[in-house]
Structure 1
Amino acid sequence: MIKRSSGSTNLAARTGICLDPFMRFACLCLALLCSFSASAASTASAATPEDDISLACPVLRHGYGPFDYRSAANSQRQLVEGAHFFPDVENLKRNAIHPNRGYIVIPGSEIDYTLRAFPNHPRALLALSRLSLRDKTDQPQGTKAPVVCYFLNAIRFRPDDGLVHVIYGTHLLRSGKTQLALEELQKGEALSEENASVHYNLGLAYFELKRYPESLASAQRAYALGFPLPGLRDKLKKVGAWKDGPPPPLAKASAPSAAASTPAGETGIADGAAGQSATQANSAATP
């Protein structure tokens, strides 16, 4: 048993110095606790709303994958899409019967499976966004997490996929979060300077914001890169904002272009409904 000296205790009280072993141990614990609390407070103050959401998201595990949708083999895509992301799911059809297995399909459940296998599957992300907005819920039936968690999971999985940022930005825009939407859209543009699909979807988003000059510039870039669908051009024509001509030069992006970016025109997915012909380059965009 340690006997504490009253003289030492009085000196410690007068000077703030811990002299005997027991008091030194107590002071050390207190100092460590204060240090940890200060560190936690500093981290919390630097955290973004996105960080807070991410902390609340469950881990979306899968026994098959995860695979990068951009570089996955056709056999990998067909295996998942044929069983889980067929047209009735992409079109969010209610009470559809599975074509091979005979059960009543819950679109959210099939989309969840698809996104756990391919976190950055662009059409599946868009379908999930549309399902959330249609059903007016942040977590549609059959999903294992709020919609935003699937987007954050895709971004963490492949940070260089600019199309994911554009789809997420479009979702935020339609959810009324305009400033966050613009930040995501601009990230997508910076990552995908030569991706026609990104510019097309960015143009659609700017059109929804009635920012017609930016929408026109994105549309001209998309069509110059070979995007096949006329929908954005037609929208701009209806409001008198379309102009023929080459696109304006793109400001030099601070973020590097993605080495594994989707080939130009491969996937245009805004305002999507499935079933477009092969000549439209697997696009799910409505004209």
Structure 2
Amino acid sequence: MRLARTLQLLTICVAACSSYQSAYANTGKGKWVGEDFRGIPCTGTGVGYGPYDYRERGRYWQELSLVEGAHFNENVERLIGGAKQKHNMTGDIDYTLRAFPNHHRALNTLIRYRVERGSKGEEEPLSKTECYFQRAIHFAPDDGTIYLLYAILLHKLDKFDASLKFYRHAEKLQPKNVEVKYNLGLLLVDMNRYDEAVKYAREAYAKRFPLQGLKNKLKRKGYKL
């Protein structure tokens, strides 16, 4: 019920907040919205730098260079360690996402951290990955990549129904995105909705999507593309 309530709030935001982004960016202050998976309101540290829209990184290249140079280098992205010798890796990811809430690569790193390492306790700053995604959606409700990434996270956490809703919204915003089609197909296989999965698989592979996982899963179920 709590997750359904959060989804409802985010749906309202998507419909009503299209003009909010510019006003939000001008305030220079971050805002945490929604609830975590247990129904506890999302909270986090405020923004000391930004927030900036990652899709406008050409415009904000200097700001992005400063943030990534200090907090999101190869070590952080690969979950090896902090960006600098005395840095904490999770703190660097947190800082990057506070400055650029919809930083696609940092959000993807956040997914890998959650899935590969799991929550380390209630005080662990990255244990509530869902809160970073809800904040990103509130910041940039028309950024389809956020919905795709959040859907992938929810899928990996076996929250299939919630994942499907976010894949559908990603598809609405990016109808030609083959990554959306491929990953949505994987979810539909796991939901035993094979005919629909075949449809998305055919669309993805018609665009020469390279990964064969979806095709192999459908083949094992007796479906040919």
Normalising by structure 2, report the TM-score.
0.68
CA distance in 1, matches of 2:154, 2:203: 23
Q: Deviations over 1:47-91 (max 9, x none)?
A: 914456177112553222211111222444333223322222122
CA distance in 1, matches of 2:121, 2:57: 27
Higher relative contact order (CA 8 A, sep 6+): 2
**Structure with greater Cα Rg:** 1
Gaps of 5+ in 2: 10-33
After the TM superposition, which of the residue ranges 205-214 and 157-166 deviates more from structure 2? 205-214
Does 1:72 pair with 2:57?
yes
For residue 85 of structure 1, the aligned residue among 67, 72, 75 is 72
Contact 2:201 2:214 in 1 (8 A): no
Of all paired residues, the percent bearing the same amino acid is 36
Q: Deviations over 1:80-115 (max 9, x none)?
A: 22332222212212xx364xx422x53321111111
Q: Secondary structure at the match of 2:54?
A: coil
For residue 171 of structure 1, the aligned residue among 153, 160, 178 is 153
Q: Which residue of 2 aligns with 1:238?
A: 216
Question: What letter corresponds to residue 68 of structure 1 in structure 2?
Answer: D
CA distance in 2, matches of 1:210, 1:219: 14
Gaps of 5+ in 1: 1-46, 244-287
Q: Which residue of 2 aligns with 1:186?
A: 168
Q: How many residues align?
A: 190
In structure 2, relative to structure 1, the CA distance for the partners of 1:70 and 1:148 (3 Å cut) is same
1:272-287 aligned at under 5 Å gives the runs none
CA root-mean-square deviation: 3.3
In structure 2, relative to structure 1, the CA distance for the partners of 1:217 and 1:69 (3 Å cut) is farther
CA distance in 2, matches of 1:49, 1:193: 25
CA distance in 2, matches of 1:114, 1:222: 32
In structure 2, relative to structure 1, the CA distance for the partners of 1:196 and 1:238 (3 Å cut) is closer
Q: Secondary structure at the match of 2:91?
A: helix
Does 1:48 pair with 2:26?
no
Does 1:150 pair with 2:107?
no
Q: Secondary structure at the match of 1:48?
A: helix
Cα drift, residue 238 of structure 1: 2.5
CA distance in 2, matches of 1:107, 1:235: 31
Q: Deviations over 1:209-242 (max 9, x none)?
A: 4544444433444455x67x611xx113433256
Cα drift, residue 149 of structure 1: 0.9
CA distance in 2, matches of 1:176, 1:242: 26
Cα drift, residue 141 of structure 1: 7.1
In structure 2, relative to structure 1, the CA distance for the partners of 1:83 and 1:49 (3 Å cut) is same
Contact 2:77 2:106 in 1 (8 A): yes
Contact 1:202 1:218 in 2 (8 A): yes
Does 1:102 pair with 2:102?
no
Cα drift, residue 138 of structure 1: 7.6
Question: Greater helix percent: which structure?
Answer: 2
Contact 2:90 2:126 in 1 (8 A): no
Q: Secondary structure at the match of 1:194?
A: coil
In structure 2, relative to structure 1, the CA distance for the partners of 1:193 and 1:169 (3 Å cut) is same
Q: Deviations over 1:174-205 (max 9, x none)?
A: 22222111111111111211334433443444
